[in-house]
Copies of this chain bind each other. A is one copy, B any other.
Amino acid sequence: MATDETSMKDIDIKSITNVAADVEQYLIDFLDSRPLPNNLREACKYALLGGGKRLRPVLVIQSALAVGGSLQNALPPAAAIEMIHAFSLVHDDLPAMDDDDLRRGRPTLHKHTDEAMAILAGDALMGLAFELITTKIADSTLATRIVAELATGNNNMIAGQIYDTLPDFEDGVESLERLVTIHKNKTGALLRASCRMGAMTAGANDKQINDLTQYADAIGLMFQVVDDVLDVTQTTEQLGKTAGKDVEQDKMTYPALMGLDKSRDEIERLHAESIQALAGFGESADALRHLSDYMAVRQH
């Protein structure tokens, strides 16, 4: 890749940080406006406001801007999808699931409060995401489309979690097909919903929505292949989490299934696919292009 990595990273981190602050304030204001028990509100805030890249809100907002829409109109689905993402992390961390004590350097919610609160706060975050859409989007045609998209993304994400942790594949499904099915659902579903919802808030036509869906699917899968490659090639220090964990746990990964070289080819292929999907857009989609570039070079 010929691009200057340093400047690219600077651009993207800046745009991500700006948007993150807007989304966080929006989330705080929304939670403060709801008649919630104080401890539940605090638990929801704890789960929502512990950092993170805000990749999904960024995709919502940048997809809206790509189609000529506004940040303002994109904020409701941007905040809602972050609530869905936060709910999924809270429940994934539970003892009966991944049993994680730490998330982004802080105690997970069930460690910070207790398991009952983590279950209920996760439930509340999902429900509040839908309430937010109907409260904040006055145009009911748009609101219904956004709710449908959010629900589908949410439900496919849950299906992906099942495929990953409680697999129930039909006989004869190849390993690579399984891996793609897991990732397309587990991480891909919310990224896809993000781009589609953002586009919808900007009044995108069907072709624009399809293009952004293809972009989302490509970067979603690429994100996962890069993650798998990094686990093999980087040190624990570089990664900020334990390296080599996948190999140690004998996890199904891209390097394990197709080797490191072919995994890198796959990253290039998906990167090119994501850029190609944006061919019909002008400069307004540059942030999405940079984001894909940035995600593709994470490995180097």
Contact = CB atoms under 8 A, between A and B. Distances in A.
Interface bracket on A: 35 or more
Given A97-B116, A120-B161, A158-B123, A37 B147 contact: no
Contact of A40 (B96, B130, B158): B158
A116 B97 CA distance: 6
Nearest to A42: B168
Contacts of A117: 162, 166
A143 interface: yes
A115 B154 CA distance: 20
B143 A40 contact: no
Please indicate which of the listed interface residues A35, A115, A124, A130 has the most CB atoms of chain B within 10 Å of its own CB: A130
Nearest to A124: B158
Number of copies of this chain in the oligomer?
Answer: 2
B166 A39 contact: yes
B128 A155 contact: yes
Contact of A127 (B115, B140, B158, B162): B158
A159 B36 contact: yes
A72 interface: no
Interface in A129-151: 130-131, 133-135, 140-141, 143-145, 147-148, 150-151
CB-based closest 10 A-B pairs: A96-B115, A134-B148, A131-B151, A140-B144, A39-B168, A130-B151, A127-B154, A127-B155, A37-B162, A140-B141
A91 interface: yes
